[in-house]
Structures are given as C-alpha cells and as structure tokens.
Amino acid sequence: MITKITALVILFFISFIAGCSTAPQSPQITGEYFHIYSPAQDIFPGPDSENLTAGQTYDTWVPNDHGFAKAPDGIWHCFGITHPTTEKTEIHEAEWQMFHISSPAKSFADSTTRQWNEHKKILTPADRPNEIKNAHAPTIVKKDNLYYMFYGPVDIRYATSTDLINWTPKATAFTQKQGGTRDPSITKIKDTYYMVYISDDSLYIRTSTDLLNWSRQPTKIFTMPRKGAPESPTLIYKDNWYYLAWCIWDDTQGPYDHRTFIYASQTPYNFSNAKLVAQLNAHAPEFIKDENGNWFISSAQYPKTGINIAPLKWK
C-alpha cells in the first residue's frame, strides 16, 4: 500500500525528471519590440571617406551589430557599430566608430520600455592609430574587474576598460589568414570562454581561459546550407544545450535582413546536423539574460531604425 508521503515523493521525482527533459528548447519572442535608441545628429570624426567629410555634422546615423555589458553600479551599457548615412553613402561606408548608450534604470526590464541615454562615440580611428579604420561587431566580457571588448573585421582585436566609459585599444587577439574574421561573439561557460565568429561564409569557434591566449587552430562549426552568408552569430548555453543563433544576408531583403535562425546541439563544436529550433524576426540580435534571470532579445534596424528590445522566453 502506497502511503501519502510515498506518493508525494513519487510525484516529486516524476516532476523533476520531466523538468530535466533532454529535448532542446525553442526561444520565442513574447511581446512587442520597444525602440530604445535612435542616434542623434553628430559630427563625423573622420577621416574623410568617399562621401563623408570629417568634422561635418550629419543628421542620420545607422547603428548595427552591438553588444551589452553591465557596469559595477548596476547600469547596463550597449556599444555598437555606427556610421552616418546620406543619399550618396554606401551601405557600410565609414563604419569606423561605435555608438555608446546606457540604460535609464538599473533594472534591465525597466529599461526595455524607456529611451536609453546616448554618450560620446568611442574607438574612432584617431583612438586606434595602429589599427585599420574599421571596427565592427563588438562583444564585451568582464574578467577580474576589467572589461574586454573584442571586435573585427580582418583581425580580431580588443580594447579594455575599467568603467565602460574609457577604452584603451590593446592588441590583436588572433588572425585567420584565409577568409579573414568578423562578427565575434563571446560566451563564458564554466571556466572557458568560447568565441564564435565568421570567416568567409562559415562559422568558427576558438576557446580561451584568460581572454588573451586563444586556441591556435579554429574549429569550423557550421557552413551555410543555402545561398547567402551568415551574420552576427551568438552562442548560448542553457540547460546542457548549446544554441547557435545567426541572421542571414542573401540579397533578397536588403542589408538589414531580420531572419534569425537558432540551432541546438549537445556540443559547441558541431552544428552541421543540428536541429533548427526557432526562426525569429531580429537583425544582429543579442540574447540578454538580466539580473533577475529573465531573457530579452535585441534587434538592430528592425522593426524600427536603431536598437529595439523585446521579451524572450524559452519553451
């Protein structure tokens, strides 16, 4: 005869096992995007490009790939690629500096329904005299009270900061001679940092334990199964599953295509036969887990020009 206590114990273990399902989850956008940022008019720091003049004020700026980090005082910051745009400029002309915005509240959730504060642009070519002018797709991680910002293209480079305000360019993290490198994204899992990035039209991964020394040989983890190129990859680790997200560019929906694909794998080193678990409407998305364990997704240039944030749940 099963006692009441025994029955409760059995029900507990059934619920526990059900909660530890081996099936991957699917991220879903559960609310409307809120538009947190559109760049104000600003002076182009230069140098001159084909259609832009250093020192001239431009009304319209275009933000794109970006990354988030939380400051010691609890305020969230966002940094991303940006450039002025006119009727004459090319799509990615003079993407040589980064925008910098900060949240209006210490709670990330409270900051997703309010406009963020804009700061002075950072890492201009004048700030990085020993680098190429381009500075793309920043990803930010914190280690030992120091923030590291990694960015491309061509080489993966990095800068450091103690306060997310003042940044000092440091060195090249690594170079991949064939295919170059672009759009890095870093995820820390236990004691290891995993960087996913794009070379040619494939996705690669390298690892590090100190952010300074990266694995010499990269591992190819995904190759496009269709026409087009991947952009803005992100690696997410959740409940013993690895999720690889990337958006696509195939010249059918313009330069800011908002089709993002998410694949699930039980290893971070191979997504070639991984299961597609979701397709979301977001361009150059970032997946943010806030201080309360809630998830959000950001999107550049969709659904409005600038940066947008929506709530996200895993189901």
The two tokens of residue 139 are 């990803």
Give the mean model confidence (pLDDT) for residues 20-47: 93
CA distance 103 to 44: 24
H/E run at residue 132:
none
H/E run at residue 200:
none
- Summarised one tens digit per residue, pLDDT across range 262-313 is 999 999 999 999 999 999 999 999 999 999 999 999 999 999 999 999 999 9
Position 198 scores a pLDDT of 97
In a domain, residue 3? The reply is no
Least confident of 72-81, 197-206, 220-229: 220-229
In a domain, residue 18? The reply is no
In a domain, residue 6? The reply is no
In a domain, residue 94? The reply is yes
The two tokens of residue 142 are 């914190």
Position 254 scores a pLDDT of 84
Position 19 scores a pLDDT of 43
Q: Which residues of 223-252 are buried (b: 16+ CB within 10 A; e: fewer)?
A: eeeeeeebbbbbbbeeeebbbbbbbbbeee
Position 257 scores a pLDDT of 95
In a domain, residue 10? The reply is no
Position 3 scores a pLDDT of 55
Q: What are phi and psi of 162, to 5 degrees?
A: -100, -15
State how far the alpha carbon of 114 is from the alpha carbons of 180, 238, 283, 294, 309, in Å: 38, 28, 20, 17, 10
Least confident of 13-22, 88-97, 106-115, 201-210: 13-22
Q: Where are the alpha helices (DSSP H) in 20-120?
A: 108-111
Q: Is 159 helix (H, G, I), strand (E, B) or coil?
A: strand
The number of folded domains in the chain is 1
pLDDT at 199 over 80: yes
- Summarised one tens digit per residue, pLDDT across range 204-250 is 999 999 999 999 999 999 998 778 889 999 999 999 999 999 999 88
Scanning the structure block, which residue is given the tokens 């930010």? 140
In a domain, residue 174? The reply is yes
Residue 26 vs residue 11, higher pLDDT: 26
Domain that holds residue 279: 23-314
Give the mean model confidence (pLDDT) for residues 53-61: 98
In a domain, residue 148? The reply is yes
In a domain, residue 264? The reply is yes
Q: Which domain CATH number covers 54?
A: 2.115.10.20
Give the mean model confidence (pLDDT) for residues 71-86: 97
